[in-house]
Amino acid sequence: MTLIDNKEKTMVEAIKKAMVDSDSVDILTAFFYFSGFKMIAEELKDKKMRILVGKYIDPSEMGVMMAEAKQNPDFSLDKYEPRGSRPTRNKQKELYTEGFIEFFNKSALHDDTDDQSAYKIFEDKLRNGTLEIKLCNKHQNHAKDYLFHNKPGEENMGTGIFGSSNFTYQGLQGQGELDDVYTDNKTFSLHKNHFNNLWDDAETIDIKTMESDDSFIKDIEKRLWIHSIPEPYKVYIRILHELFGKEMENDIKTPNDITDGQFSNLEYQIDAIKMGIDRVQKYDGVLVADVVGLGKSVIGSAIAYNLDLPVVVIAPPHLKPQWEDYQEQFNLRGARVFSTGKISDVYEHYSKSSRPTLFIIDEAHRFRNEDTDDYKLLHQIVRSHPENKVILLTATPFNNRPEDVFALLKLFQTPSRSTIRSVDNLSLRFRDLIDQYKQLQKLRRSKGGQEEIDSKALLISSELRRLIEMVVIRRSRIDLRNLTRYREDLIRQNIDFANVVGPELLDYDMGKLSDLYARTLNQITGDDIDEGFIGARYKPTSYLKDDKLFLEKYGEFFDDTTLKTAQANLSKFMRKLLVTRFESSKFAFKTT
What distances in angstroms separate CA 591 from CA 319, 578, 584, one per listed residue? 33, 10, 12
Of 338-342, 399-403, 579-583, where does mean pLDDT reach its minimum?
399-403
Predicted local confidence at residue 125, as pLDDT: 93
What distances in angstroms separate CA 201 from CA 50, 187, 208, one per listed residue? 14, 22, 16
Of 164-168, 189-193, 223-227, 234-238, where does mean pLDDT reach its minimum?
223-227
Phi-psi label, residue 507: left if phi above 0, alpha if psi -120 to 50, beta otherwise: beta
What distances in angstroms separate CA 285 from CA 326, 333, 392, 523, one per listed residue? 20, 18, 8, 53
Does residue 168 surpass a pLDDT of 50?
A: yes
Of 105-109, 220-224, 320-324, where does mean pLDDT reach its minimum?
105-109
Predicted local confidence at residue 109, as pLDDT: 45
Higher-confidence position of 232 and 141: 232
Which of 41-45, 101-105, 438-442 is the most confident on average?
41-45
Q: What is the pLDDT of residues 366-383, one digit of tens each?
A: 998 888 889 999 999 998
Does residue 503 surpass a pLDDT of 70?
A: yes
Predicted local confidence at residue 529, as pLDDT: 58
Question: Would you call 359 exposed, middle or buried from its count of C-beta atoms within 10 A (0-12, 13-18, 19+)?
Answer: buried
Higher-confidence position of 27 and 83: 27
Residue intervals in the chain for CATH 3.40.50.10810:
238-492
Question: Would you call 147 exposed, middle or buried from its count of C-beta atoms within 10 A (0-12, 13-18, 19+)?
Answer: buried
Assign 3-class secondary structure to 173-228: HHCCCCEEEECCHHHHHHHHHHHHHHHHCCCCEEEECCCCCCHHHHHHHHHCHHHC
Residues paired with residue 358 on neighbouring β-strands, in sequence order:
311, 389
This prediction has a pTM of 0.55
Residues paired with residue 9 on neighbouring β-strands, in sequence order:
none
Sign of the alpha-carbon torsion through 70, 72, 77, 80 = negative
What distances in angstroms separate CA 248 from CA 237, 270, 369, 393, one per listed residue? 17, 12, 34, 21
Q: What is the pLDDT of residues 208-227, one digit of tens each?
A: 999 899 999 999 888 887 77
Residues paired with residue 564 on neighbouring β-strands, in sequence order:
none
Q: What is the pLDDT of residues 44-101, one digit of tens each?
A: 999 999 999 998 888 888 777 776 666 666 667 778 888 777 888 899 999 999 988 8
Does residue 463 surpass a pLDDT of 90?
A: no
The band of 575, judged by pLDDT with boundaries at 50, 70 and 90, is: confident
Average pLDDT over every residue of 235-258: 77
CA distance 316 to 88: 56
Does residue 240 surpass a pLDDT of 90?
A: no
- 3-state helix vs strand vs coil in the chain, percent to 5: 55, 10, 35
H or E stretch covering 478: helix 477-482
Predicted local confidence at residue 284, as pLDDT: 92
CA distance 339 to 500: 31
Cβ–Cβ under 8 Å, residues 177 and 11: yes
Which residues are within 8 A (CB) of 147 and not within 5 positions of it... i.e. 6 or more apart?
A: 25, 26, 27, 28, 158, 160, 188, 191, 192, 195
Does residue 458 surpass a pLDDT of 60?
A: yes
CATH number of 2-227: 3.30.870.10
Per-residue buried b or exposed e for 74-90, using 16+ beta carbons within 10 Å of the residue's own CB? ebebeebebeeeeeeee
Does residue 108 surpass a pLDDT of 60?
A: no
Question: Would you call 45 exposed, middle or buried from its count of C-beta atoms within 10 A (0-12, 13-18, 19+)?
Answer: middle
Predicted local confidence at residue 149, as pLDDT: 95
431 phi, psi to nearest 5 deg: -60, -40
Percent of the chain with pLDDT over 70: 91
Q: What is the pLDDT of residues 114-141, one digit of tens each?
A: 577 888 899 999 999 999 999 987 666 7
The band of 419, judged by pLDDT with boundaries at 50, 70 and 90, is: confident
Which residues are within 8 A (CB) of 547 and not within 5 positions of it... i.e. 6 or more apart?
A: 560
CATH number of 238-492: 3.40.50.10810
H or E stretch covering 409: helix 402-409
The band of 528, judged by pLDDT with boundaries at 50, 70 and 90, is: low
Percent of the chain with pLDDT over 90: 35
Which of 453-457, 497-501, 526-530 is the most confident on average?
453-457
| Side chain identity, residue 532 | G
Predicted local confidence at residue 269, as pLDDT: 94
CA distance 206 to 208: 5
State the alpha helices, DSSP H only, in 25-88: 34-39, 41-44, 62-71
CA distance 331 to 301: 9
Q: What is the pLDDT of residues 289-313, one digit of tens each?
A: 998 889 999 999 999 999 999 999 9
Higher-confidence position of 189 and 104: 189
Sign of the alpha-carbon torsion through 269, 274, 275, 279 = positive
Per-residue buried b or exposed e for 306-342, using 16+ beta carbons within 10 Å of the residue's own CB? bbebbbbbbbeeebbeebeebbebbebeebbbbbbee
Averaged pLDDT of the chain: 85
CA distance 113 to 123: 15
H or E stretch covering 242: helix 232-244
The band of 34, judged by pLDDT with boundaries at 50, 70 and 90, is: confident
Residue in 164, 120, 141, 116 with CA at minimum distance from that of residue 55: 141
Of 64-68, 525-529, 535-539, where does mean pLDDT reach its minimum?
525-529
The band of 111, judged by pLDDT with boundaries at 50, 70 and 90, is: very low
The band of 110, judged by pLDDT with boundaries at 50, 70 and 90, is: very low
H or E stretch covering 23: strand 22-29
Residue intervals in the chain for CATH 3.30.870.10:
2-227
Cβ–Cβ under 8 Å, residues 226 and 38: no
The length of the chain, given as a count of residues: 592
CA distance 76 to 69: 9
Does residue 388 surpass a pLDDT of 90?
A: yes
Residue in 58, 337, 98 with CA at minimum distance from that of residue 220: 98
473 phi, psi to nearest 5 deg: -120, 115
Higher-confidence position of 499 and 247: 499
Residue in 429, 414, 300 with CA at minimum distance from that of residue 364: 300
Per DSSP (E only), the strands in 394-479 are 472-473
CA distance 428 to 431: 5
